[in-house]
Amino acid sequence: MSKPFAFFRALVLCSAVTSFEISRAAESKLAWQVEWEKTVKAAEEEGALVLYMTQAFEPVFREVFQKKFPKIKVTLVTGRGPDLSQRVMSERRAEKFAVDLYVSGNISPLTVFHKAKILEPVKHLLLLPEVLDTSAWYEGKHHYDDPENRFIFVFEGTPRSGEITYNTKLVNPAEIKSYWDLLSPKWKGKIVSVDPLVSGPISAAHIFFYKHPELGAEFLRRFHGDTDIAIVRSNEQMLDWLSAGKYVFGIGARDVDNAMMQGLPLNQFLPASLKEGSSVTAYNGTLSYFNRAPHPNAAKVAANWLLSREGQAAWLDSNQKTGGLYDSLREDISKEKVSERARRVKGAKFLWLNPEWIAELDTIRDIIKKALASAGKGK
């Protein structure tokens, strides 16, 4: 076989293969588009969508989603996780299947819905290529909160540096390079905490401390036993004391962003500022799909839209109006509207908080309780 002929033959073969790949890609794209249009049409025929969620997502669906899909009437029930989960279970006991999707934090879906076996796999809902493309998500994968990695889709991954707030007039954050620096004699009697034995945002901080290989139970013991830590039950009292300088560090404070916007001298550590890094978890961003959902096609449309670039950007836009406190796990959208203190930093050290670690809270609280008792602060 002559060289020119061999070259020509190879060129033809290469062109044929390329044409086949292009044709196959076009057919694949056409297939998902056809399926998507079919799903949207079926959802419009259902004409309704029922969502239970925290209030933070109400404007996202009422204003943005509803405008994009006007033929799907959206009914939203908002509230706190414990209240909404109790409502769902009460409805189930009455053989009432009213809700399609649940959008909220990560506790109730795992400890209530997953345990009761009333969820369907979210994977079955996912259709849009941009949602299915795992390279667009944090760590190059989809995150789930359940052991099977099927039922509780996590679309938020917000860093927190131990829920520690400090008085900016009395603390130079540059001199705090490690969580262990808080145990310095310089800060003894200058730290206040919300009740560490009561559930709340502080629980995630305690789990982070306990599970971190460079902190662990010893840090928890010394932090609560050696610092002459004060315990307060009122968040307003804590913010007042921190602002006035009675204490310089506070752990577990809420509404810090609002206090900062009011001009109070408060701040929190940035995700990459301490050498042990920060925790990452979903405080307000998981998606669950109920079995026997009354509007399965509308649920499919809503799930794909929320997890798309457009949906996640709409959530961050809405989130910015309340301080930009959460970060999306999508890596292919702008994060400029996420607060610097809530934004994951590339190259920083993060410990992903496994929701199953919640089961260790009793052990953690027992360590803290004994430490406080040893310091004469037991109840």
| Shared-domain flag, residues 78 and 134 | yes
Contacts 24+ apart (CB under 8 A), 76-80: 76/51, 77/50, 77/51, 77/52, 77/53, 78/52, 78/53, 78/54, 79/52, 79/54, 79/55, 80/54
**Rounded mean pLDDT of the chain?**
91
379 has a pLDDT exceeding 80: no
Give backbone dihedrals phi and psi of 269, rounded to 5 degrees, phi first. Answer: -70, 140
Give the tens place of pLDDT for each residue, 136-174.
999 999 999 999 999 999 999 999 999 999 999 999 999
| Tokens found for residue 154 | 């996590």
Structural domain harbouring 72: 10-158+282-346
Residues recorded for the chain: 379
22 has a pLDDT exceeding 50: no
The whole-number pLDDT of residue 27 equals: 55
The whole-number pLDDT of residue 355 equals: 82
| Shared-domain flag, residues 237 and 215 | yes
The whole-number pLDDT of residue 11 equals: 46
Give the tens place of pLDDT for each residue, 198-210.
887 789 999 999 9
Contacts 24+ apart (CB under 8 A), 126-129: 126/303, 126/304, 126/307, 127/32, 127/35, 127/36, 127/39, 127/300, 127/304, 128/32, 128/36, 128/304, 128/307, 128/308, 129/29, 129/32
Give the tens place of pLDDT for each residue, 301-341.
999 999 999 999 999 999 988 888 899 999 999 999 999 88
Q: pLDDT category, 24, cuts 50, 70, 90?
A: low
**Adjacent-strand bridge partners of 330:** 137
| Shared-domain flag, residues 175 and 105 | no
The whole-number pLDDT of residue 29 equals: 63
- The number of folded domains in the chain is 2
The whole-number pLDDT of residue 346 equals: 87
Q: Are 372 and 378 in contact (CB under 8 A)?
A: yes
| Shared-domain flag, residues 224 and 116 | no
Residue 350's SS3 state is strand
| Shared-domain flag, residues 360 and 313 | no
110 has a pLDDT exceeding 50: yes
351 falls within a domain: no
319 falls within a domain: yes
| Shared-domain flag, residues 243 and 185 | yes
312 falls within a domain: yes
Let me know how many helices (H) and strands (E) the chain has, helices first.
13, 15
| Tokens found for residue 234 | 């009122």
CATH code, domain carrying 133? 3.40.190.10
Q: pLDDT category, 10, cuts 50, 70, 90?
A: very low
Please state which of the ranges 5-9, 79-83, 295-299, 332-336 shows the lowest mean pLDDT. 5-9
The structure's pTM equals 0.84
DSSP secondary structure letter of residue 153: E
| Tokens found for residue 58 | 């109400």
| Shared-domain flag, residues 127 and 182 | no
369 has a pLDDT exceeding 50: yes
| Shared-domain flag, residues 78 and 94 | yes
